[in-house]
Amino acid sequence: MNGTKKNREILSWGKSVFVAFAIVVVVRTFVFAPYIVDGASMEPTLHDQEKIFVNKVNADNLEREDIVIIKGVEENYVKRVIGFPGDIIEIRNDKLLINGVEHKEEYLKENRDEANKQGSTLTGDYGPVTVPEGHYFVLGDNRLRSMDSRNGLGFIKESSIVGISEFVFFPFSDVRAVQ
């Protein structure tokens, strides 16, 4: 192989690698990104050290109960969206009230059963509070062990939400959609 042909082949490979790298950067920055769950605040829905993919495209189309990644100052948080701007949030007798109406949280069944066995509740009474414009109210599923809008994170700015958790991709034995 002469030098010119070799240079063209190297240049061709270089272009291919550059294009592939650029695609990965664009997808990771604007479409999907992997995150690691750190802690037990979302148990049993998500477990410590599970790896999840987050959809960044639909971050502007949140629905109640979506599990989101929140960009913090020093770390990111995984929480469930409970309250939207203008909502009045209250917790009374272990029941979540949104705008005065009880909101059933089926995903808390396992935690609630465990708390009942121990003769306790998932959380103390809280609120009522009104979610300000441009903010959300979030809670962890493991209410006894979650820092969330009730006790440390406060209301979450809309701009702090990175994306919506779509599925767990690691460990491979537990790949599943996140609900």
The set of catalytic residues is 41, 79
Q: Determine the length of the chain.
A: 179
- Nearest by Cα to 54 from 33, 80, 28, 78: 33
Determine the Cα angle at 24 with ends 21 and 29, to 5°.
Answer: 125
3-state helix, strand, coil in the chain (%, to 5): 30, 30, 40
